[in-house]
Amino acid sequence: MRRRRPSTYFSPAWCLSQPYTCGTPPTLSHCRSSEGSAVEISPKLAITLNALALYAISAVLAVAFYWQFAYGELPCPLCMLQRASFSALAVGPVLAIRHGPKPQHYGLTILAALMGASIAARQILLHIMPGDPGFGSLLLGMHFYTWAFLAFVAAILAAAVMLTFGGQFAATERPPRLGTLEKGAVWLVIGLTAMNAASALAECGFGSCPANPVRYELFN
């Protein structure tokens, strides 16, 4: 007896366990679970949201970079590690833009955010005692490492929410075409990451970074 071709979505388990002998095999998009996400977004919209995330990361790096030169406040080693974590935070969105959204990309984002949050929390705890003025100046009443901790927590929540949206992981022959918005976001975060890396080299030179930096060791 010939197997009837289903007209709706197959479950992944059915697709893997049952041979299909009638006509063209179902595509991966047909193999989505019938208990899918209640909210679905297109891959194109997901890529746009990932590009906006890159602009947010770039804004954080740009503000820190501006503060360093405008006010002469050199970042401490923990501060530089937090900047590096923000750059690592951009890896997931860049991969999503380049290859199309995948759950693994959001997983990388969550891992990078966890790393950054732990570093920021470490610096917060170093200055938690009453009367401790903290390190560096304040921005809107809080130190930069406190803002960084909140930003990393927000990144974890954002990535978790994105994982709940179906539709964006549907199989396509090729990723959607990238526009100026997406390409600009990728190159902007790469440029700011390179500038921060050059700044770290200038500050630390080829030795260990000072705990309380006051000059650029590479030029002394």
Domain ranges of the chain: 1-36, 37-219
Nearest to 93 by CA among 74, 81, 107: 107
Query: Tell me, what's the pLDDT at 158?
Result: 94
Least confident of 26-30, 172-176, 177-181: 26-30
Nearest to 100 by CA among 42, 54, 157, 55: 42
Burial classification of residue 89, based on how many CB atoms lie within 10 Å of its CB (0-12 exposed, 13-18 middle, 19 or more buried):
buried
Query: Tell me, what's the pLDDT at 117?
Result: 95
- Structural tokens at position 167: 């539709």
pLDDT exceeds 90 at position 29 = no
Query: Tell me, what's the pLDDT at 114?
Result: 96
Query: Tell me, what's the pLDDT at 118?
Result: 95
Query: Tell me, what's the pLDDT at 1?
Result: 43
Least confident of 23-27, 104-108, 128-132: 23-27
Nearest to 145 by CA among 122, 129, 111, 113: 122
Nearest to 158 by CA among 196, 112, 122: 112
Q: How confident is the model at residue 130 (pLDDT cuts 50, 70, 90)?
A: confident
Query: Tell me, what's the pLDDT at 95?
Result: 93
The stretch 190-215 carries a mean pLDDT of 85
Query: Tell me, what's the pLDDT at 137?
Result: 79
Long-range residue pairs from 203-208, CB within 8 A, at least 24 positions apart, any chain: 203/74, 203/75, 203/80
Phi–psi pair at 50, nearest 5 degrees: -65, -35
**H or E element, residue 208:** none
Query: Tell me, what's the pLDDT at 208?
Result: 82
CATH architecture of 37-219: Up-down Bundle (1.20)
Nearest to 185 by CA among 33, 59, 26, 15: 59
Query: Tell me, what's the pLDDT at 33?
Result: 40
Q: Which pTM was predicted?
A: 0.75
The stretch 66-83 carries a mean pLDDT of 88
Q: How confident is the model at residue 38 (pLDDT cuts 50, 70, 90)?
A: low
Q: What are the beta bridge partners of residue 139?
A: 142
3-state secondary structure of 177: coil
pLDDT exceeds 90 at position 218 = no
- Structural tokens at position 116: 């950054």
- Structural tokens at position 33: 């679970």
| Percent above pLDDT 90 for the chain | 36
Query: Tell me, what's the pLDDT at 21?
Result: 46
**H or E element, residue 138:** strand 138-139
